[in-house]
Structure 1
Amino acid sequence: MAEAQRQKTVVVGAGPVGSLAALYAAQRGHEVEVYELRNDLRDPSTTPLNFTKSINLALSTRGITALQNSGNDTLLDHVFDATIPMRGRMIHGRRPSGELYETAQDYDAHGRTIYAIDRAGLNGRLLDILEQLPNVTLFFNYKMTGADFRRRKAWFEVQDGPKDKKASDAPRERLPEIEIDFDFMIGADGAHSPVRHHLMKYVMMDYQQHYIDTLWCEFQIKAQTPEDVPGDDKDAAFRAKFAISPNHLHIWPGKDFMFIAIPSDDGSFTCTLFMPAAEFAHLEATQDDGVTLPAFFDCHFPGVTQLISPADLIASFRRNPHLPLISVNCKPYHFQASAVIVGDAAHAMVPFYGQGMNAGLEDVRVLFELLDKHATVESNSPAGEEDAASTNAANRALALAEYSALRVPDAYAINDLALHNYTEMRASVLSPTYRLRKFLEEQLSVHVPWLGWATKYSRVSFGNERYSEVVRKSEFQGRVLLGGLVGTVGVPVLSGLVFLLMHRRKVTGFLGSVARHAKYIAVWAANGFKR
């Protein structure tokens, strides 16, 4: 009997999530084709979609677990070689006396860390691995223009247009287009996903996108030049490259905006200013004076101008775009057995929980676990190739339906958490109430571990619980803590108030009696004490 034809899986998008999806499919023996709109992402000259580097990535347990399960033994070790552990936040500010301060807030009472990672490095490693696999083909500069998910066909425009500016200004001729067939398509093509756009024509998809009133702009704290470090002390030499602690996410919080800095392994920090659009517009209108922007930073982000020169601040503000932040929710994520969307294509989120990439990588792990669960293995099946393909498609349809049902509530949950965490990062980190709850939850986690208590952040970043379950448990813990505080503080206070009220009644009665008797005595005295 002829060998069964391998399943053809097409992945649209060669970012970290799409590349990992291609690796998972390739490890299962699929014939994999990856189509990417941009040039080879390993080429330093490739312009990212946002025309800037990106908000630095934080790799946490969910992403690590997905990489571990990829089937490639060297991937995780290579990734960790270029990461920096971050054990918590470092909050920067100025005291009323004018003195600068920084206060560390650990992420986890058990000492666990998240990892700062360079997106390009992770992406490059994944693409290197894919390129070496015989059943994977990479296509760069291919723009998806159409898809028929019933017939399992797609069309891509080959972006091989002119490179020089003069030629690009000329009227563009229609670019060549190719048609491809596939058994299964995975859309990992970002927040403005063409795969999702075409999927909407085949399913009744609920879709919502929301831009928050915040723009972001990128800056950089440059690496230091180490001096007077012993040649054999590699750790000291490494740390000497950093102007501030390399093991923290640095935050300059403000009421309506914030500035953050995330370390890179070359000693620099990628920094991001998050601020309402109106504030950006004001600074854009006044930036030519060369004074307003540094003064703004000195006022709201004390100490930054000692780390980034005023000239560099102004240059970055002028050169780097001021970009919006989008949040996307939709459902379902699939159509029959033909197509599914993952990562930002399914649930783009604001970056304030550091879970965008981690959630996307987790999507891939969960998706393929479900595909494996529903797959039918028939080593001695008498069925023909056509029957086997039909069975595989039916099983894949069941897996995709379960994937949508499972991941949609989790995506909605982490999207909401990411939005709420913006308030926490720019304001709540300074709140005594926030710090008290964090302290109580951490103490319960450390000293009464059998209760299973944990902070919401640790559940999100250091575990693989479903996001929706994390929210449910966190809300339960909040109610218990509130009830405990009411019981611990409120009951004694309430008892005291009851006692005072009762005592007041007695005192009031006694004083009233005295007043009445005093009046009687006064009248009696006026009558010469005669009855």
Structure 2
Amino acid sequence: MAHSAPAKQKVVIVGAGPVGSLAALYAAARGDEVEVYELRGDLRDPATIPLNFTKSINLALSERGITAMKQSHRDELIDRVLADSIPMSGRMIHGRTDGKLWEAAQAYDVHGRAINAVDRGTLNNAFLDELEQTPNVQLFFNHKLVGADFRNNRAWFERRSPGASPYDKATEVEVSFDLLIGADGAHSASRYHMMKFARVDYSQEYIDTLWCEFRIPPSSDQQEFRISPNHLHIWPGKEHMFIAIPSADRSFTCTLFAPADHYGSLSAASHPEKALIEFFDTNFPGVCPDLITPEALHEQFTANQHLPLISLKCNPHHYDASVVVVGDAAHAVLPFYGQGLNAGLEDIRTLFEILDRYGVYDDSNGPTSPESRRDARRRALQAYTDQRAADTHAINDLSKQNFLEMRWGVKSPLYRLRKSVEETLTRYVPELGWQTQYTRVSFSNQRYSEVVQAVRRQGQLLGMGLGAAALLASVTTVLVGVLCWRRRPTTAGMVSPWAALRNVWREVRRTLL
């Protein structure tokens, strides 16, 4: 007797950014009827204003994000995105010593692997073009999620016509679904409505740092990059830093990160342009006027918004069998590890792997009833939260820690020593499986929580090794001293060398035990 095909699920996705778009491709590939609702207008339209009022922020695409995209089996999509990306093989640290400018490259990886600078608009356009060609996906722009009932699987959206006045009455649309995936960013409406049903532990933090965007144009004569295009450029400072990421048009998208009071004092100065130029000359030597003219620097500082940085955690990431939040809606992270996009895309790969594992799409044993499928989905979403919450909390913490490393640690001799030792172990003793934290995060698909554990173990071993080396050096020094003492007559009042050695050993035992 032939089995009938299982009823298709209806999946509603809120948010048409890269994470929501990838979720739509995964669901569509499994036969779901997919509807994508986006608050803004079509992101491919140059007139559409991004929610943060900036258009040129570059993104870092690394192994996790690429792996997640590959598993959508859309080769043309991946080729298009990577063709327009720029590989960055490491950091380029900038500074000035004794009046002379210098720069020092720090490779990300001993094997020469690179992360990819990707334009946000290029990425969005590639995804939306792909979705538009997928027959079981529908796109709805200018739709705002205003209500949801996750017990009865209903959602309500306000639909506004493009260009409509805020005072015009919006049309409300009711939508039913089997599963709603919230991919609508840090200020997620999906999460807000989910928290009315689920007991969600939620924390949100704004760090005392604002960011402002700048631009280094290409050279005026040859239209070439003004500085190396294959590095992420950093001008570090104790409290602030300036970074530059290459763009396909041979410019650099730059970001100033600084405490809020720095922005306030610069804006309130009696001569703001002069104060800004002096601030840059003191803290970010070589930027102005060499790369950005004083006029352009002041214009961009004044015109571009000074925006906050938010990080958030929540647990669980789902409610029952009906809703799950992904990407920044579940775990907005600070940008200092370049993992916001990658973690969000990895969410989708992980989510659908678990849905597959729990048989949500498995019809090999006959027809799947809506009830059995809902039960499988409920168990799968719980498993997803159990696994993913730990990982997203881990990358949230790692991103905070990397801010300190980027703005100050990269210049520290201790940081350079540890990096050198770890890279030497990776290169020459590969059987140890030793990898730097950055390599594990950016060039592998190892779970973030496992990265933290592995790096902690490596740190303990490295500390023990360096401690043993220091102890050996100390003991050697003492023994050499003993030999020298034995050749000299003992002077009254001097401590016997053997007594000194016993004291040293006693102190070592006390420290170790």
How high is the TM-score relative to the length of structure 1? 0.89
1:365 is paired with a residue whose SS is helix
Whether the aligned pair in 2 keeps the contact of 1:250 and 1:261 (CA below 8 Å) is: yes
| Structure 1 pair 145–276 and aligned structure 2 pair: CA distance change class (3 A) | same
Q: Are the equivalent residues in 1 in contact too, given 2:56–2:253 (CA < 8 A)?
A: no
Q: Shift of the alpha carbon at 1:87?
A: 0.3
C-alpha deviations, 1:12-52, integer Å up to 9, x for none? 00001000001110111100000000010111111110111
- CA separation of 1:502/1:2 partners in 2, compared to 1, >3 Å: closer, same or farther? closer
Correspondence for 1:439 among 420, 423, 427: 420
Q: Does 1:65 align with 2:67?
A: yes
Query: Identity, % of aligned pairs?
Result: 55
Does structure 2 retain, via aligned residues, the 8 Å contact 1:327–1:349? yes
Alignment of 1:112-123 (within 5 A): 112-123=113-124
**2:246 pairs with 1:245:** no
State which of 244, 251, 255 in structure 2 corresponds to 1:261: 244
Change (3 A) 1:295 1:512: closer
What CA distance in whole angstroms lies between the structure 2 residues aligned with 1:10 and 1:270? 34
- Partners of 1:351 and 1:405 lie apart in 2 by 25
Cα deviation 1:148-175 (Å, max 9, x = unaligned): 0010000001122754xxx55xxx2442
1:490 to 463, 471, 485: 471
Matches of 1:508 and 1:425 in 2, distance apart? 55
Q: How far, CA to CA, are the matches of 1:399 and 1:69 in structure 2?
A: 19
Q: Please say if residues 254 and 427 of structure 1, whose CA atoms lie closer than 8 Å, have aligned partners that are also in contact.
A: yes
CA offset digits 1:481-524 (Å, max 9, x no partner): 111111112233146458869998999974149xxxxxxxxxxx
1:472 to 445, 453, 469: 453
Aligned residue for 1:74, secondary structure, equals helix
* Residue 5 of structure 1, CA deviation: 3.2
In structure 2, the residue matched to 1:34 is 36
1:435-493 CA-to-partner distances (Å, cap 9, x unmatched) read 00000000000000000001000010000000011111111111111111111122331
2: distance between equivalents of 1:429 and 1:64? 27
Give the superposition deviation at 1:375: 1.4
Instruction: Decide whether aligned partners of structure 1 residues 224 and 499 sit closer, same or farther in structure 2, where only a CA change above 3 A counts.
Output: closer
What residue identity is the alignment partner of 1:314?
A: H
Pair 1:379–1:456, CA change in 2 (3 A): closer
Secondary structure at the aligned position of 2:219 is classed as: coil
Report 1:296-445 matches (<5 A): 296-305=279-288, 306-375=290-359, 377-379=362-364, 381=366, 388-445=369-426
Q: Which residue of 2 aligns with 1:125?
A: 126
CA distance in structure 2 between the partners assigned to 1:27 and 1:287 by the alignment: 60
For residues 405 and 313 of structure 2, the distance between their equivalents in structure 1, rounded to whole angstroms, comes to 22
1:198 pairs, out of 188, 193, 215, with: 193
Indicate which of 194, 208, 213 corresponds to 1:213: 208
Any gaps of 5 or more consecutive residues in structure 2?
495-513
Which of 21, 24, 29 is the aligned partner of 1:22?
24
For 1:162 and 1:87, the matched residues in 2 are separated by 43
1:456 equivalent to 2:440? Answer no
Residue in 1 that maps onto 2:144: 143
Residue of structure 2 in register with 1:526 after alignment: none
Q: After alignment, is 454-463 or 290-299 more displaced?
A: 290-299
Deviation at 1:134, TM superposition (A): 1.0
Paired with 1:421 and 1:352, the residues of 2 have a C-alpha distance of 6
Deviation, 1:348, is 0.1
Match for 2:434: what amino acid? W
Matched residue type, 1:206: D
Q: Give how far 1:224 is off.
A: 2.1
Query: Alignment partner of 2:285: what SS?
Result: coil
Task: Work out the CA distance in 1 between the residues paired with 2:243 and 2:81.
Answer: 23
SS in 2 for 1:48: coil
Unaligned runs of 5+ in 1: 228-239, 514-531
**Amino acid paired to 1:196:** R
Q: 1:287, 1:199 → 2: CA distance?
A: 49
Q: Does 1:81 align with 2:62?
A: no
How many Å apart are 1:380 and its aligned residue? 6.2
SS at match of 1:186: strand
TM superposition shift of 1:399: 1.0
2:265 matched residue in structure 1: 282
Q: Give distance in 1, aligned partners of 2:407 and 2:96.
A: 15
Q: CA deviation at 1:290?
A: 2.4
Q: Deviations over 1:49-77 (max 9, x none)?
A: 01112542110000000010012121111
Q: 2 CA distance for matches of 1:388 and 1:508? A: 96
| Higher-Rg member (1/2) | 1
The root-mean-square deviation of aligned C-alpha atoms, in Å, is 2.1
Is the CA contact 2:14–2:182 (under 8 Å) kept in the aligned structure 1?
yes
Contact 1:196/1:345 (<8 A) preserved: yes
Please list the CA deviations of residues 314-358 of structure 1 after superposition, one character each: whole Å capped at 9, or x if unmatched.
110111100000000010001111010100000001100000000
Distance 2:72 2:123 in 1: 14
* Separation in 2, partners of 1:478, 1:414: 18
SS class of match (1:307): coil
Instruction: Give 1:230's aligned residue.
Output: none
Q: 1:304 aligns to what SS in structure 2?
A: coil
Aligned pair in 2 of structure 1 residues 208, 502: CA closer, same or farther (>3 Å)? farther
Equivalent-residue separation in structure 1 for 2:489 and 2:383 (angstroms):
70
495 and 391 in structure 1: CA distance in 2 versus 1, 3 angstrom threshold:
same
Name the residue aligned to 2:509: none
Contact in 2 for aligned 1:287/1:293 (Cα 8 Å):
no
From the superposition, tell whether residues 161 and 119 of structure 1 become closer, same or farther in structure 2 (CA, over 3 Å). closer
Letter in 2 for 1:84: I
Separation (CA, whole Å) in 2 of partners of 1:35 and 1:364: 17
TM-superposed CA distance for 1:289, in Å, is 4.2
